[in-house]
Amino acid sequence: MRLLLTIVIITVIALIGSRLTFLNRKLPLGFRNIIFTGTEYIFMGVLLGKMGLNLIDPKILTSLEPFLYFGLSWIGFLFGLQFDFKSLKNLPRFFFSISAIQALFTFVIVTPIIFFSFKTFSSLPSNTLLIISLALGSASACSAQSALAIVCNNYRFKNRKLFSLLNYISGIDGIFALIFFALAFFIFPYSSITKFNLMNSLEWLLLALVIGMVTAFIFIILNKTKFSQQEFVVFIIGTVLFGGGLAMKTNHSPLLIGFICGLITANFCRHRLRALEIMVHSEKGIYIIMLVIIGAGWSLNFDFILLITGFYFLSRLLGKLGGVWIGTRSFKCDFHVPWTSGLGLLSEGGFAVAIIISFSIFYPSLSDYLVTVVILSMILNELISPTLILSHLENPKRLDFKGQPDITRQKT
């Protein structure tokens, strides 16, 4: 009965949250960005969880775990659908190269700093520290488009090319974060924090590829028949359930398997855009449910983890700053790129949270460390990101409610 009540409450929160918009133009951009990324639903989960009303206890959290697999499989599938190689070829090649350098540099900076920070302030074994460092390093490579979208919707500015570069990087660097994420599980497959075993790792990688490809081919074959809109929705839900279920049974990451399935579907299925539209429409509700669940299981301890969060925030800032600087100097752009442009990529967003949730499923004992660092850092990043983006734009003019420049509120 308690589990049923919990499911009803979470579902109601997701239904209401997916239909409401709280982006009041009178609020500062930073607060609007925090609300836009759904951070408030994590604290709703905290209220329902062990730090609040304890409606969602550890037993119920275990019962809700299959939905996390479904949600992560959905997010992975949706993310993979966005990478149609034919469309990507139309974009400037150096944009991709700059994105790769930025993501790699951020990962390389954050991972060792987090490792030695934990080693200094905790007594965790080295293998555990390596997993935590790889997890946070993977999440740090992500950049969200939410802050850029809010700025674009509220300001008119001149240097659109710089904005396009930042928007491109924030849209594609998740694929590099996913590569780093896969690397962590390749080193420690099957949730076992033991010594590296090449055969076990290769077996894990091969099985993940097979599951992702088989799931995609089933979906593609189904789409060769005549079907209605309702049947197409069933195909999508069934594919996500099938991939997530196989991931759960084989102890694999549903996020990675969903991505492989989505990537193959994007390039070999003629109904890609149709599937993308349906999945985007439902993404917010699924994401809200996942945030509530992860918040319910979160325990915030005011100890050394706050110092680690500070190191994570500063090292990620340094990584974004240095990564964009190196990338834009290695591949010259035909427009001016300030050396501080990387500060416009601090917004983290949902994909970083999805990566942390994936690690939390397989390493529940590390969940509080990972969630605390990413959530607290994300709140700070979302708060300051719009201001930092505006600082790099030429002559930004604030728009009024009708989308026209508001001369009473122009940035000087």
Residue 155 three-state SS: strand
Q: 177: helix, coil or strand?
A: helix
Percent of the chain residues topping a pLDDT of 90: 36
Alpha helices in 29-159 (DSSP H): 29-36, 39-48, 58-81, 85-88, 93-121, 126-140, 146-154
| CA pair distance 107, 102, nearest whole angstrom | 9
Give the C-alpha separation, 4 to 172, whole Å.
Answer: 39
Burial of 62 (0-12, 13-18, 19+ CB in 10 A): exposed
| Residue ranges of domains in the chain, CATH in brackets | 28-406 (1.20.1530)
Q: Is 234 helix (H, G, I), strand (E, B) or coil?
A: helix
CA distance 210 to 398: 50
Q: Is the pLDDT of residue 113 over 90?
A: yes
pLDDT at 319 over 90: yes
d(CA 131, CA 115) in angstroms, rounded, equals 9
Q: Is the pLDDT of residue 410 over 50?
A: no
The CA distances from residue 220 to 64, 85, 382, 396, in Å, are 30, 17, 38, 46
- Strand segments, DSSP code E, in 252-306 are none
For the cut 50, the answer to whether the pLDDT of residue 403 exceeds it is: no
Distance from C-alpha of 353 to C-alpha of 218, rounded to nearest angstrom: 29
Q: Is this structure's pTM higher than 0.85?
A: yes
pLDDT at 190 (0 to 100): 65
d(CA 62, CA 231): 31
155-156/397-398 β-pairing? antiparallel
b/e code 242-267 from CB counts within 10 Å (16+ = b): bbbbbbbeeebbbbbbbbbbbbbbbb
Q: Which two tokens stand for residue 374?
A: 């990413």
On the question of pLDDT at 254 being above 50, the answer is: yes
133-143 residue pLDDT tens: 999 999 999 99
SS3 content of the chain, % helix, strand, coil (to 5): 75, 0, 25
Q: Residue 151 pLDDT more than 60?
A: yes
What would the mean pLDDT of 203-217 be, rounded to a whole number? Answer: 92
